[in-house]
Structure 1
Amino acid sequence: MPGPARLGGQRAAETVVVGCADGALIYADGRIAKATSPDEDGSIGTLSGAPNSAVVLGNYSEPTQVSLIDTASDQVHLVGLPAAYSGTSLARGDDGEALVLGTDGQIHVIDPETREVVAAIPVIEEWSVPEDWQEPRPGLTALDGSVFVTDPGTATIHAVDIPTAEVWNTAELNVTPNDLIGVTGDLVAEVSEDDHAHDEDDPAHDHDHDHDHDEDDHDHDDEDHDH
């Protein structure tokens, strides 16, 4: 049955999850199920999925708890943290780990299967969640085997290796970072036979050929003039 308010959505292993005011809706294989929060006012809005995990990480109405939505069992489980966090503080690791950047400046690593906090990695100084949601706050995103953390207080970005708990690079920015998203920057260009056929039909392509023929005719005229 539908939730009273839709707040956010995410994909996880061919499943679509939509957060709402009292849990989450789960769509998979033509079936819609409701995963109800354990608390009456347990709203879920920000979600982070992983292609290799059936569990979706979500925020929760309680500021020191996150939700783990099990799309296989249609259940919402809660994990307590020693610090608060914001909507930009959730990400997933390469192995599907649930990652939360707390206001204590640490990345809290959660095993989505056991629902245990297995590590805490210090990255930045302590910070506070702004009351205005449009105000800059630290961000967290995963890309190419690393996790990146932005700190608007110091205008810096940090690269973190989760398995070794190492902050392996830090760079200063000339802007105040707010939100964060990662892209590979890879460009894949493929030319198919159909594309080549279209090029053959292109008038500009014919013009090039005509130009070549004109050059040949000009060369012949010069030879006749010499004779």
Structure 2
Amino acid sequence: MSSMTNTKTLRAVWPAALLGAAALALTGCATNAADAGSDSSATPTADGTRITLTYDGGLLTLDQDLQVVADDAIDGFTRVNPAGDGRHVLVTVPEGFRVLDTAADPALTDAVFPADTGGHAVVHGDTTALFADGTGDVTTFDHTELDGADLPDVETTKSEAAHHGVAIELEDGTLLTTIGTEESRSGVRALDADGEEIARSEECPDVHGEGAVTGEVAVFGCTDGALVYDDGAFEKIDAPTEYGRTGNLFTTEDSSVAVGDYNDDPDSEGYLLDQIALIDAASGEYTVADMPEDVGFTFRDLARGPGDEAVVLGSDGALHTFDESTGEQLESYPVIDAWEGPTEWQDAHPALKVDGDVAYVTDPAEQKVHAVDLTTGEVIASSDELPGVPNEIAVA
């Protein structure tokens, strides 16, 4: 482990009024039914789960019956992430992270969390952390204070250099944020609630992917294993192969195991993978499970099920579940037709999100989305043909 350094990092608190004014200036003359400064008591609430889908030229909001309730125009490829409050979704736009209100129509508000090249948005507890790749700035806020187009107060933390990074804030206020430059990433540092660095490790090459398992233990993916932060210190768990990259992690608060994608070939081409990483932060065990023969998946096709099992949408069109401790395959549920991996990672291809007992599966070939009961494998709902080919998906 590399030596710890004590450096003071600027963590500035910005009031909502100032941030909102800057956001509205950035978004220009965009119009919305939920105006900034509106009376929050008149704001509607979403009735049940809402699903947000991107397509070329727009954003769709669907209700729990997979019926379209809002269709908002937006230019170019964009990403969507849940804000964490069960209602709002963060939409990556050139100005930063724009707030979509799934309880409204139109759903896309004027509120924007400013960010230069907005990247990862990570929810943990009541806090959401936004990373700006263009500056390395980390913006954190209490997502329970989101209300329509009104932004909550935020805290901004500077990174040592701009890079494609990620951050997560633990319940005690510890901020874990990646270390890197525009050329490379090397590890993670821990800052206390005052912005003082209390620990760091640069033993995580190309760090990417994060999550918190049970006991407020954080896990980060590396190209040679995983980096674990527990009780003020970092520990490295080595991958079973010299090169063993995990770039996306999926965790739950009830399990010590982080589930991720796994690639043991540094020269591999394309985006389909056929192995799953099961990283037990408590025991230090790193297990790799194989997908069925000739079945692959991408970074969009991993999730956790209602019993903490790993859920994977395979290129054979089926949902495959695995025991998160042993890697044993449990079930396979056919959902859509077989599909091929994308040419570019931004290209529309089947994606998976899980909410409780229900898995939501996009079907670009048919321009639909399906809901699957993971306790039975039954497809319990399917949308009508959507206005565009679904690409990214978020569940609020």
| Pairwise TM-score range, normalised by the shorter structure | 0.7 to 0.9
1:124 maps to 2:325? no
Please state how far the C-alpha of 1:171 moved relative to its aligned partner.
0.6
For structure 1, list consecutive stretches of 5 or more residues without a partner in the other structure: 184-227
Please state how far the C-alpha of 1:10 moved relative to its aligned partner.
1.4
2:368 — aligned with what?
Answer: 156
Counterpart CA distance in 2 for 1:49 and 1:168 is: 26
What are the residue-to-residue correspondences of 1:38-117 with 2, within 5 Å?
Answer: 38-62=240-264, 63-82=273-292, 83-117=295-329
**Paired amino acid for 1:174:** P
Deviations 1:79-121 (A, max 9, x none): 0012110000000112111101110111110111232011011
1:175 — aligned with what?
Answer: 388
Please state how far the C-alpha of 1:39 moved relative to its aligned partner.
1.1
For the Cα contact (< 8 Å) 1:141–1:148, is it kept in 2? Answer: yes
1:216 — aligned with what?
Answer: none
Percent identity, aligned pairs only? 38
Deviations 1:169-217 (A, max 9, x none): 111322211111111xxxxxxxxxxxxxxxxxxxxxxxxxxxxxxxxxx
Q: Given the two structures, how large is their TM-score scaled by the length of structure 1?
A: 0.77
Please state how far the C-alpha of 1:151 moved relative to its aligned partner.
1.2
Richer in helix (by share): 1
Counterpart CA distance in 2 for 1:73 and 1:178 is: 37
1:189 — aligned with what?
Answer: none
Counterpart CA distance in 2 for 1:113 and 1:67 is: 10
**Paired amino acid for 1:165:** G
Q: Given the two structures, how large is their TM-score scaled by the length of structure 2?
A: 0.45
Please state how far the C-alpha of 1:16 moved relative to its aligned partner.
1.0
Bigger RCO of structures 1 and 2 (CA < 8 A, at least 6 apart):
2
For the Cα contact (< 8 Å) 2:287–2:326, is it kept in 1? Answer: no
For structure 2, list consecutive stretches of 5 or more residues without a partner in the other structure: 2-202, 265-272
**Among candidates 198, 201, 204, match of residue 3 of structure 1:** 204
2:85 — aligned with what?
Answer: none
1:199 — aligned with what?
Answer: none
Please state how far the C-alpha of 1:129 moved relative to its aligned partner.
1.1
Richer in strand (by share): 2
1:21 — aligned with what?
Answer: 223
Deviations 1:46-94 (A, max 9, x none): 1111121111110011521110011111221100012110000000112
**Paired amino acid for 1:114:** T
2:120 — aligned with what?
Answer: none
4+ runs deviating over 3 angstroms: none
Counterpart CA distance in 1 for 2:332 and 2:262 is: 20
Counterpart CA distance in 1 for 2:367 and 2:316 is: 18
2:159 — aligned with what?
Answer: none
Please state how far the C-alpha of 1:144 moved relative to its aligned partner.
3.7
Counterpart CA distance in 1 for 2:230 and 2:372 is: 33
**Computing the radius of gyration over CA atoms, which structure comes out larger, 1 or 2?**
1
SS in 2 for 1:88: helix
**RMSD between aligned alpha carbons?**
1.2
Q: How many residues align?
A: 183
**Among candidates 351, 354, 364, match of residue 142 of structure 1:** 354
Please state how far the C-alpha of 1:131 moved relative to its aligned partner.
2.4
